[in-house]
Homo-oligomer: A and B are copies of this chain.
Amino acid sequence: MIRKKVKLAYITNDSSRKANYKKRKKGLMRKMSELSTLCGISACAIMYSPYESQPEVWPSRIGFQQVLSKFKMIPEMEERKNLVNQESFLSQRIVKVVEQLRKDYKDKREKEMTQVMFNNIYDKWVVHGLNFGDINDLNLLLVEKISNIDMRKDAFTMTPLLF
């Protein structure tokens, strides 16, 4: 049981590579969470492996409803919605995008469709070397072109999502 030093190279043996992945993924997730609580910072990690059908994400996707609830519950947020500076403009846009998203998800079929699309696209982004910096840039585009989205004008309501 002599433990070797880590040889920093691709593990060719399939089963030990998978085992290694699962162990280290767990460790990474824990460290991510520790850093976040110890230092009070926001952090995210995503791992896209052939061992899982969905990308592994930290923090977990738990409760999109909770996220939406936060929007309602945070008073500063409500205040911001009534401000007229750029910041509040952006906040409102975000709220509306999220609302739009909620509505989209109500159509379960469409949801599955887009999920499949996402998997395809994300796979390509990663395969072709787009990192999260680049995905962020794509988000920039979203912001920029957001006025093209046919936003609904009605109030921001909170009904349960379908997932």
- Residue of B with least CB distance to A37: B8
- Residue of B with least CB distance to A35: B24
Alpha-carbon separation in the docked complex, A61 to B60 (Å): 25
Helix, strand, loop or mixed for chain A's interface? helix
Alpha-carbon separation in the docked complex, A72 to B122 (Å): 18
For A, the interface residue count at a CB cutoff of 8 angstroms equals 84
Min CB distance A35 to B, Å, is 5
Please, which residues of chain B bring their CB within 8 A of the CB of A49? Answer: 39, 41-42
Give 1 or 0 for each of A115-147: 1 = CB within 8 Å of chain B CB: 101101110111111111111111111111100
Please tell me which one of the listed residues B47, B120, B149 contacts residue A43 in the complex, with CB atoms under 8 A apart: B47
- Which A residues, 14 to 46, have Cβ-Cβ distances below 8 Å to chain B? 17-18, 20-21, 24-25, 27-28, 31-32, 34-35, 37-46
Leading 10 A-B pairs by shortest Cβ distance: A61-B133, A42-B126, A148-B148, A44-B132, A21-B39, A41-B49, A42-B48, A43-B47, A45-B45, A142-B142
Chain A contact residues, CB within 8 Å of chain B: 6, 8-11, 17-18, 20-21, 24-25, 27-28, 31-32, 34-35, 37-50, 57-61, 64, 66-67, 70-71, 74, 77, 86-87, 90-91, 94, 97-98, 100-101, 104, 114-115, 117-118, 120-122, 124-145, 148-149
